[in-house]
């Protein structure tokens, strides 16, 4: 038991890479579309090396991502198909690619953080979004990963938010519009403005065209530290506060309070730590936030505390069936 636990902890590096490579080279797509197959058949069809593939599949079988029978035929664990099928709203491949191609290269900083402290190490580095948006390809890859993390759950979050009767919503740091699109689809009377850094504009425009949202989806370029937020009945922050420390969160929420109509609401959409410090995905992403941003994940009561400090009242927590949840505060 102890050794099994330690094996999983120690060899996670290999399963993350195996997961990413099997996705990247269409191995999961092959298993989904063609059904159970052996490594040689998959390798032939995907034009990849059979021996390397077999070694990757053995790791994926050991962590139960795929199932292997006695003849060496592999099939996908059925419950994982939605997360591994590129056509599914629950597809996580782009996020795993972000972990491998981006996060992994930054994890070495943790050692320096331990010995020198984060502030001293980060003082030498560009600010998080200067790195994330260093060129157009990096911007596109990041926004695609964010879309995949946020779009599927957004359908549920907009319903939990009960936006009937709301006419204007500003999605602060709304990226390429995953939450905005879900809100527009569910509430025909709603208009949504995404407020985000100028680099994001062309990607939001692509979404607007693809969705045919017309004037109902607007974009205001800006910097939420330098600029006031556009006024609205409702302002939303999806995976924004987890990028920043508590003091900065209160600064942003105070701006949201100023921009929010009386009787309006602010929506926070975030992973939530449970009281025991789990689950694993939140604990791991909390470490990722540490190296990639200046933020962290929090419990529901830590978020309601930040809302109350910024003037919001009647705070409530609404859990989705995914790992992104909703915390709401009302402006009196």
Q: Which stretch binds ligand SAM (CB under 6 A): 11-19, 62-70, 107-115, 217-225?
A: 217-225
Q: Is 224 in the site for ligand SAM (CB under 6 A)?
A: yes
Q: Is 74 in the site for ligand SAM (CB under 6 A)?
A: no
Give the tokens for residue 9.
Answer: 């902890």
Instruction: Please give the residues from 117 up to 136 whose contact with ligand SAM meets the rule CB under 6 A.
Output: 129
Nearer to ligand SAM, 23 or 243 (CB): 243
Q: Which stretch binds ligand SAM (CB under 6 A): 1-9, 49-57, 69-77, 144-152?
A: 144-152
Q: How far apart are CA 329 and CA 319, in angstroms?
A: 15
Instruction: Match 């506060």 to its residue by tokens.
Output: 241
Q: Which of 238, 264, 295, 329 binds ligand SAM (CB under 6 A)?
A: 238
Q: Which of 52, 86, 117, 225 binds ligand SAM (CB under 6 A)?
A: 225
Q: Which of 18, 19, 56, 178 binds ligand SAM (CB under 6 A)?
A: 178
Instruction: Please give the residues from 145 up to 164 whose contact with ligand SAM meets the rule CB under 6 A.
Output: 146, 149-150
Q: Which of 48, 99, 181, 200 binds ligand SAM (CB under 6 A)?
A: 200
In the complex, what is the shortest distance from the CB of residue 120 to ligand SAM, in angstroms, rounded to a whole number? 23
Count the site residues for ligand SAM by CB under 6 A.
18
Q: Is 174 in the site for ligand SAM (CB under 6 A)?
A: yes
Q: How far apart are CA 246 and CA 249, in angstroms?
A: 5
Q: How far apart are CA 268 and CA 256, in angstroms?
A: 11
Sequence-separated contacts (24+) of 317-322 with Cβ below 8 Å = 317/272, 318/160, 318/161, 319/272, 320/153, 320/156, 320/157, 320/160, 321/156, 322/152, 322/153, 322/156
Nearer to ligand SAM, 57 or 204 (CB): 204
Secondary structure letter of residue 100 according to DSSP: I
3-state helix/strand/coil string of 13-42: HHHHHHHHHHHHCCHHHHHHHHCCECHHHH
Give CA torsion, residues 238, 240, 242, 244, to 10 deg.
-170
Q: How far apart are CA 160 and CA 320, in angstroms?
A: 8
The half-sphere exposure of 190 on its side-chain side, counting CA atoms within 13 A, is 26
Q: Is 240 in the site for ligand SAM (CB under 6 A)?
A: yes
Q: Site residues (CB under 6 A) for ligand SAM?
A: 129, 146, 149-150, 173-175, 178, 196-197, 200, 223-225, 238-240, 243
């Amino acid at each position: 038991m102890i050794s099994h636990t330690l094996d999983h902890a120690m060899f996670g590096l290999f399963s993350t890479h195996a997961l990413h490579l099997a996705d990247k080279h269409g191995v999961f797509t092959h298993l989904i579309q063609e059904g159970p197959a052996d490594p040689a058949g998959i390798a032939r069809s995907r034009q990849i090396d059979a021996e390397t593939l077999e070694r990757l599949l053995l790791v994926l079988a050991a962590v139960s991502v795929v199932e292997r029978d006695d003849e060496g035929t592999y099939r996908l664990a059925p419950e994982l198909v939605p997360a591994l099928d590129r056509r599914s709203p629950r597809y996580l491949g782009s996020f795993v690619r972000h972990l491998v191609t981006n996060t992994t290269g930054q994890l070495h900083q943790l050692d320096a953080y331990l010995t020198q402290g984060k502030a001293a190490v980060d003082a030498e580095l560009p600010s998080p979004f200067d790195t994330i948006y260093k060129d157009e390809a990096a911007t596109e890859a990041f926004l695609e990963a964010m879309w995949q993390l946020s779009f599927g759950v957004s359908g549920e979050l907009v319903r939990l938010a009960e936006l009937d009767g709301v006419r204007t919503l500003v999605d602060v740091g709304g990226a390429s519009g995953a939450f905005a699109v879900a809100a527009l689809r569910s509430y025909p009377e709603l208009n949504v403005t995404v407020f985000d850094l100028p680099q994001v504009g062309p990607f939001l425009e692509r979404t607007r065209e693809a969705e045919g949202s017309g004037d109902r989806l607007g974009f205001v370029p800006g910097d939420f530290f330098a600029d006031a937020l556009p006024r609205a009945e409702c302002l939303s922050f999806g995976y924004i506060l987890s990028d920043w420390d508590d003091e900065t969160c209160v600064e942003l929420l105070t701006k949201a309070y100023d921009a929010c109509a009386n009787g309006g609401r602010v929506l926070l959409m975030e992973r939530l730590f449970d009281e025991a410090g789990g689950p694993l995905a939140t604990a791991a992403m909390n470490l990722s936030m540490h190296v990639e941003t200046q933020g962290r994940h929090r419990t529901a009561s830590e978020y309601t505390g930040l809302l109350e400090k910024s003037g919001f009242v009647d705070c409530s927590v609404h859990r989705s069936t995914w790992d992104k949840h909703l915390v709401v505060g009302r402006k009196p």
